[in-house]
Structure 1
Amino acid sequence: MNIFIPYLLLVIFGVILVYSSSSTILLQNGFNPSTYGVRQAIYAIVAFALFGVPFFALKLEVFKNPKFVVWFLGISIALLMWLVGMKLVHGSSAAVNGAVGWINLGFINLQPLEVAKLALVIYLAFVLNKRDGKIVKGNIINELKHPAILTGFMMALVIVEPDFGGTAILFMIAFVMFSISGVPARTVFKWTIVMLAILLVGIFILLTFAPSSIRNSYQYSRFLSVLHPFELERKGGAQLVNSFYAIHNGGIGGVGLGNSMQKRGYLPEPYTDFILSIAAEELGFIGILIILGLMFWLLWNIMEVGIKAQSQYNSLVCFGVTTIIFTEALFNIGAVVGLLPITGVTLPFISYGGSSLIVLTACIGLVLNISANEKAREEKEYSVA
């Protein structure tokens, strides 16, 4: 219940905030103001019934089955490659906000990246569990090269879209799961320093020597706007500037649910990656503390299950799921307050979107499955003792 309750409350908050942040702009354009709110509620119900419950009810052996792992991973990679094909064939005409990240299925826009996150967690948990005890000094590269290469291939497919935030999330999943799989702390520290150095050099090169084709792109303007939002307000900084206004307007207690000014056409698509700005304006600092408190409560309890788990596989899955939720929240909050580049990463459980909610619900179902199995094992050991 310590995992399910914060999950449920976050989803409820999400439905309410999606309705509140989207209703005005829908009404202004002649649509039903409850359209996105109702859709989010439907996504939540479908996610829980068709993904959350099965991932909780199925035996864990199903997720450890090599055939399931291969098929799940293969499907996720195939979907990512489909997007790359769309990018190559249709170019910018297939892009949404500068990126090709969705497959239109009619009733839902499927985002393959979301599927790839969970597929990567399940794959790495399976592979690293098989290598338990073998990741020792002198043998680390040999044991980790294949999962590292596959992760790198998935990251390459995502960055072609281009989706820098998604690429970073896949990297963090692999980095955290490799780190807790038995890799010596000194090696992890060295990897961290090297990756940070590469990242800083890459950012410097991007900002200094970027060709005109990149400088004129949507992603580049959003990336650069974090450095000079007010100067670049007309070239990608408008979202961040209006986010600042929304947060400032909200103050401590907020202006009241439904009373945001920035959602009235000033903040584009306020129900997606900048929904936290609207929440800050309407609910104030207190409301944001409640939302982030629920997120922290959820993450803490998932980590606790992973720490106490006797199975290496169970621990790896829990820490992988924690990484997905934490990294998404970190990137989203950082972008909203101007501390990180705007990468389009949504706020877990809160932002509008079916793909994200479905996959996150499946993650919660899997963690609850692991928690139930660990408790059953403890009770069995206690009864035997």
Structure 2
Amino acid sequence: MRRKLNYLNYRIFIPYLILVVIGVILVYSASSDILLVNGFKPDVYGIRQAIYAVAAFFGFGVPFFAVKLKVIKNPKFVAGFLILCILMLFWLVILKFAHVSSAEVNGAVGWINLGFINLQPLEVTKLALVIYLAYVLDRRDGKFVRGKIKGNLSHPAILSAFLMCLVIVEPDFGGTAILFMITLVMFSVSGVPTRLALTWLVGIAIFVGIVFIIVVTWNPKFLQESYQFQRLMSFLHPFQLERKGGAQLVNSYYAIHNGGLFGVGLGNSMQKRGYLPEPYTDFILSITAEELGVVVTILLVGLLFYLMWEIMEVGINASSQFNALICFGVATILFTEALFNIGAVLGLLPITGVTLPFISYGGSSMIVLTAAVGLVLNVSANEKMLQEKDETVA
């Protein structure tokens, strides 16, 4: 551990710390008014987010940084981690079909109440899938040649699809899309021919576009009452459907417009005072834009994307397939979550309930993302030690 600290990648560690600290402040600001209105202390969620951040850092970030990578690559660890996630997802499926109303939020069952935290199995599954695919695809390194691609990808593809099926039953379309993107990206950078990977991407994009057009044009009656379908229609017609689900997006627009370039000041948002539902989770970026302005918001998002780039940089220069895939997988989680959240806030993508990494309120997300960053820092430190060893021998 002490030796690894000498090789700590500060270009990843410092942006991570800044984002977490800013996230705690923004959660406090975005949640304080609504807590006061409901008779609670204004700092409840801010303190919780700070506790989540500290617990995640020492309980998961440090261990994932300190542990030897051969432990992460151990098939028993990979299988155990994956089985744990499958069991948790199965439990949610049971709750869903048992119609346990206390477990449902907006028609979806996505959390397990552990008392001190509502654990979201999907968040854990994201990291488990990255580690599993890194392990499997590393073992198949160099085997993706013509005639053998299908056979080498079939097993990980089936397991990934199985996880997606468990998540979509909740239903959680945003989570399913993130698992799909993790699988697609990691398959694409694992040695599969570029032409084939691009063919997959274009084919999938066309398929999704066709399904989207059919559903919107058909507007089937059996879907009209579902919360997820209402969100889709509200994305297409937010102002016309403001009273039927479009209020979130409309008030997001108002918040961004009110903030202008430099904002109305930290704590002075109007939209967080009952107009924008749960402003400290999915739409915390809207409140940030209103209070701190578009300029600061762009800088904040830029810092998040800088963190992604540094993680990808470690993956690009990695000496092993496993290390590279871990980095690309973690970067994909961050990128996809940021893309879906920012797209929803701006009305460019349907609202899927995906939070903004390190900024939005949530214990499960903070724990898993911190563990993921710790793992990337572990990979980075090992790469530096290996490089130094090679230079010494040379």
Q: TM-score, normalised by structure 1?
A: 0.99
> 1:95-126 CA distances to partner (integer Å, 9 max, x unpaired)?
10221111111110000000000000000000
Q: For 1:220-259, list aligned pairs within 5 A.
A: 220-259=229-268
Q: For 1:1-385, list aligned pairs within 5 A.
A: 1-90=10-99, 94-385=103-394
The 2-side partners of 1:62 and 1:246 are apart by 47
The 2-side partners of 1:83 and 1:244 are apart by 34
> 1:12-42 CA distances to partner (integer Å, 9 max, x unpaired)?
0100000000000000111011000000000
The 2-side partners of 1:206 and 1:161 are apart by 20
Greater shift in the superposed pair: 341-350 or 183-192: 183-192
Displaced runs of 4 or more, over 4 A: none
Q: Displacement, 1:251?
A: 0.4
Q: Displacement, 1:91?
A: 5.5
Greater shift in the superposed pair: 329-338 or 98-107: 98-107
Q: Displacement, 1:210?
A: 4.5
1:207 alignment partner AA: V
The 2-side partners of 1:210 and 1:92 are apart by 27
The 2-side partners of 1:202 and 1:82 are apart by 30
SS of alignment partner, residue 2 of structure 1: helix
SS of alignment partner, residue 240 of structure 1: helix
1:266 alignment partner AA: Y
Q: Please provide the CA RMSD for this pair.
A: 0.9
> 1:304-336 CA distances to partner (integer Å, 9 max, x unpaired)?
100000110000000000000000000000000
Q: Displacement, 1:90?
A: 1.5
- What corresponds to 2:6 in structure 1? none
> 1:32-74 CA distances to partner (integer Å, 9 max, x unpaired)?
1100000000000000000000000000001000000000001
SS of alignment partner, residue 98 of structure 2: helix
Q: Displacement, 1:78?
A: 0.9
Mark the CA change 1:343 to 1:125 in structure 2 (over 3 Å): closer, same or farther: same
Greater shift in the superposed pair: 173-182 or 88-97: 88-97
Is the 2:23–2:360 contact (alpha carbons within 8 Å) kept by the matching residues of 1? yes
The 1-side partners of 2:153 and 2:219 are apart by 33
Q: Displacement, 1:206?
A: 2.1
The 1-side partners of 2:50 and 2:139 are apart by 39
2:42 alignment partner AA: P
Mark the CA change 1:365 to 1:316 in structure 2 (over 3 Å): closer, same or farther: same
The 1-side partners of 2:159 and 2:321 are apart by 21
The 2-side partners of 1:210 and 1:281 are apart by 35
The 2-side partners of 1:220 and 1:274 are apart by 19
SS of alignment partner, residue 270 of structure 2: coil
2:110 alignment partner AA: G
2:38 alignment partner AA: N
Q: Displacement, 1:351?
A: 0.2
The 2-side partners of 1:116 and 1:157 are apart by 11
> 1:181-208 CA distances to partner (integer Å, 9 max, x unpaired)?
1110111111112211221122123223
Q: Displacement, 1:92?
A: 5.2
> 1:244-272 CA distances to partner (integer Å, 9 max, x unpaired)?
00000000000000000000000000000
Is the 2:103–2:111 contact (alpha carbons within 8 Å) kept by the matching residues of 1? no
Q: TM-score, normalised by structure 2?
A: 0.96
The 2-side partners of 1:142 and 1:59 are apart by 31
> 1:154-198 CA distances to partner (integer Å, 9 max, x unpaired)?
001111111111000000000000000111011111111221122
Aligned-pair identity in percent equals: 69
2:392 alignment partner AA: S
The 2-side partners of 1:257 and 1:350 are apart by 15
> 1:260-308 CA distances to partner (integer Å, 9 max, x unpaired)?
0000000000000000000000000121022112102211110110000
Unaligned runs of 5+ in 1: none
The 1-side partners of 2:83 and 2:375 are apart by 20
